[in-house]
Structure 1
Amino acid sequence: MTPDLSLVDLSWLAMAAYAVHILEEYTFDWRNWARGVIGLPVEWPDFYVTNSVVVALGIAQGMLAPTLPWAPLTYAALMLINACFFHILPFVATRGRFSPGLVTAVVLFLPLGIAIFAAAAAAGRLDFVTATGAVVGGALLMASPVVMLKLKDKPYFVQRRG
């Protein structure tokens, strides 16, 4: 990344990177990979809805970047967590089995995520509390659809037609 890109510029690039990432995951059948490799009970509608939310959050963080630095920092943390724990780590753990989304995770998510944190620090908008909140927020955003997928078939959450 060039040093003259602002936090706002980088936040919009992060949104664009996520769009390309979604395309890679869809094209290379992330659903079947997720079911087979990480045991996630995901269907294509789950993928579509979850990624629609990610796009909406990407637009929101881009718009909020000028006044709320924790928004792009949280999105960057989401990208970094996604890259490391849902693409790189499974790739290593399966001894090289391709993870749909791996290329964009490595080529786009890692450098952009790091660049967003660096830009916030260079602008004097990053402190320990903000960084910690962003990482916790990113982790919660990453975990929430996974947790909901695991819970949706539990009796308490099943909505019966009556």
Structure 2
Amino acid sequence: MNRHLGGFVVIAWLARHWVAGAGFMAAALLALAPALARGLDLPTLLILLHSPVYMVHQVEEHAGDRFRRFVNGRLLHGRDGLSVAVVLVVNLPLVWGVNLSALYAAVLCGPAAGLVAPYAMLVNAVIHLGAALRLRAYNPGLATAVLLFLPLGFATLAAADAPAGAHVFGLGLTVLLHALIVLYIGWRLVTRRGRAVSG
């Protein structure tokens, strides 16, 4: 099996199974949370909860590949801007990695160092709300964004009692990450259109 074929096989396998895996991981982490809470202060515990709560959101958002189909169909008007591979990269190493990094930063340096986690949740919730208002319709992930992301995000920011610089860093990093995703999708659309024209 050559390297490219192997990569496609891995991507296809992850695309079929990662959402179910996220659901099981969320349940396991939530079951462990009461035991872990004994050794954590409240702000750090709340940052820890961002991982399983985000996984619950991912189940609502990506079950049946519906978020990718929604973005390409409703927001991009049928253009293939959001690929399966991009969905996997954004949701596995990026989202899970950001939340894990925020937790370790909070444990090692204090809760103020992990504010990228709540800000990522809040910005994501705002995006879902904005799409719902614009289209006047439900979008995949909206319910958990409103019911889980907003309360947990704001509660974490309040509990952290962090200096202004920590808020600026957390929000700035979140906005940067979202901007890079949008720019990549735009670049993908432009390059695909260029190939179609040249072909």
Q: Does structure 2 retain, via aligned residues, the 8 Å contact 1:21–1:104? A: yes
Q: What's the counterpart of residue 63 of structure 1?
A: 104
Q: Does 1:47 align with 2:87?
A: yes
d(CA) in 1 for partners of 2:104, 2:190: 37
How many residues matched?
Answer: 147
**Displacement of 1:5 after TM fit?**
6.2
**Displacement of 1:70 after TM fit?**
4.4
Higher Cα radius of gyration: 2
Question: Normalising by the residue count of structure 1, what TM-score does the alignment of the two structures yield?
Answer: 0.81
Give, as a single letter, the amino acid of the residue that structure 2 aligns with 1:37: R
Question: Tell me, which stretches of 5 or more residues in structure 2 are unaligned?
Answer: 1-39, 195-199
Give, as a single letter, the amino acid of the residue that structure 1 aligns with 2:68: R
d(CA) in 2 for partners of 1:41, 1:152: 6
Q: Does structure 2 retain, via aligned residues, the 8 Å contact 1:15–1:59? A: yes
d(CA) in 1 for partners of 2:113, 2:147: 22
What per-residue deviation string (whole Å, max 9, x for no partner) do you get for residues 100-122 of structure 1? 0101101111011101110111x
d(CA) in 2 for partners of 1:99, 1:24: 10
Give, as a single letter, the amino acid of the residue that structure 1 aligns with 2:96: V
Q: Residue 119 of structure 1: which of 144, 159, 184 is its match? A: 159
- Higher helix proportion (structure 1 or 2): 2
d(CA) in 1 for partners of 2:133, 2:190: 32
Q: Does 1:83 align with 2:128?
A: no
Q: Residue 180 of structure 2: which of 115, 136, 144 is its match? A: 144
d(CA) in 2 for partners of 1:77, 1:7: 14
Q: Does 1:72 align with 2:114?
A: yes
Q: Residue 17 of structure 1: which of 53, 56, 59 is its match? A: 53
Question: Tell me, which stretches of 5 or more residues in structure 1 are unaligned?
Answer: none
Distance 1:37 1:71, change over 3 A: farther
Q: What's the counterpart of residue 31 of structure 2?
A: none
Give, as a single letter, the amino acid of the residue that structure 2 aligns with 1:8: T
**Displacement of 1:43 after TM fit?**
1.5
d(CA) in 2 for partners of 1:102, 1:5: 30
Higher RCO, 1 or 2 (CA under 8 Å, sep at least 6)?
1
* CA-based RMSD: 2.1
d(CA) in 2 for partners of 1:58, 1:43: 23
Q: Residue 135 of structure 2: which of 65, 73, 94 is its match? A: 94
Give, as a single letter, the amino acid of the residue that structure 1 aligns with 2:54: Y
Range moving further from structure 2, 146-155 or 69-78: 146-155
Question: Normalising by the residue count of structure 2, what TM-score does the alignment of the two structures yield?
Answer: 0.67
Q: Does structure 2 retain, via aligned residues, the 8 Å contact 1:20–1:104? A: yes
d(CA) in 2 for partners of 1:152, 1:71: 33
Write out aligned runs for 1:21-36 (5 A): 21-27=57-63, 29-36=66-73
Q: Does structure 1 retain, via aligned residues, the 8 Å contact 2:119–2:153? A: yes
Corresponding residue SS for 2:119:
helix
Give, as a single letter, the amino acid of the residue that structure 2 aligns with 1:90: A
Give, as a single letter, the amino acid of the residue that structure 2 aligns with 1:30: F
